């Protein structure tokens, strides 16, 4: 574990890779969402019609959960990508500042 005094290191490329993995996971989860969430009340015959409302409610809840998870994963992916971009830009600014330093030679 790194102590607070020692700081920490971030590899923007790793953040970008993780963002891509989360973006793909978000797409996969969203694709799991069923296109139809209503169950035909006659799907299970006369006796099964009593359960159709409960089954439809459960299907809708599951579909909403998948939609929410997919959206959250997409937002997390975007946030990681923004963080990676921020670290890259900070590194570029720091590198630019180093090139602006004038070294004055002391007289001998």
pLDDT tens-place string over residues 6-32: 778 899 999 999 999 999 999 999 999
Cβ atoms 19, 81 nearer than 8 A: yes
Q: pLDDT class for 1, splitting at 50, 70, 90?
A: very low
Burial code (b: 16+ CB inside 10 Å, e: under 16) for 39-78 equals beeeeeeeeeeeebeeebeeeeeebeebeebbeebbebbe
**Domains in the chain, start-ordered, CATH in brackets?**
11-91 (1.10.287)
| Total residue length of the chain | 108
Q: pLDDT class for 103, splitting at 50, 70, 90?
A: low
pLDDT of residue 71: 97
């Amino acid at each position: 574990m790194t102590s607070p005094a020692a700081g920490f290191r971030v590899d923007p490329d790793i953040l970008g890779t993780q963002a891509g993995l989360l973006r793909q996971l978000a797409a996969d989860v969203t694709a799991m969402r069923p296109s139809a969430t209503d169950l035909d009340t006659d799907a299970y015959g006369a006796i099964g019609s009593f359960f159709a409302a409960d089954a439809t409610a459960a299907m809708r809840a599951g579909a909403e959960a998948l939609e929410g998870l997919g959206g959250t994963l997409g937002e997390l992916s975007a946030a990681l990508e923004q963080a990676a971009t921020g670290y890259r830009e900070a590194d570029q600014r720091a590198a630019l500042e180093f090139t602006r330093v004038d070294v004055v030679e002391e007289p001998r």
